[in-house]
Amino acid sequence: MATLPALDDSTFDEAIKSSGEPVLVDFGATWCGPCRQLAPIVEGIAKDYAGKVKVFAVDIDQAPKTAQRFGIRSVPTLILFKGGEKAGQIMGLTSRDKIVKQLGL
């Protein structure tokens, strides 16, 4: 998993709803190879766009209720939230450019 701030079932809602910035959540798992490949890309976006977007990680094994609530059936899955509401989703290993385009940055 990424070295991003981690959210779980008890912290997810507050982190998403309290943000004045768009929030990108990387849903993954420690056993997932593509998740490990995507992690440095997402971490780079978090660093490069600090102050414009907040980026968090959710380990689906540590947050099963949250994963179920958002219908996470495969990992990695990225979900973008704006104003506390789901605004976009990307499933699977993807490029930095596609993620940045989804963010609208």
* Identified catalytic residue from 35, 39, 90, 103: 35
- Answer yes or no: 16 catalytic: no
* Identified catalytic residue from 32, 38, 45, 46: 32
- Maximum distance among all Cα pairs of the chain, rounded to whole angstroms: 32
- Answer yes or no: 35 catalytic: yes
Could you list the active site residues? 32, 35
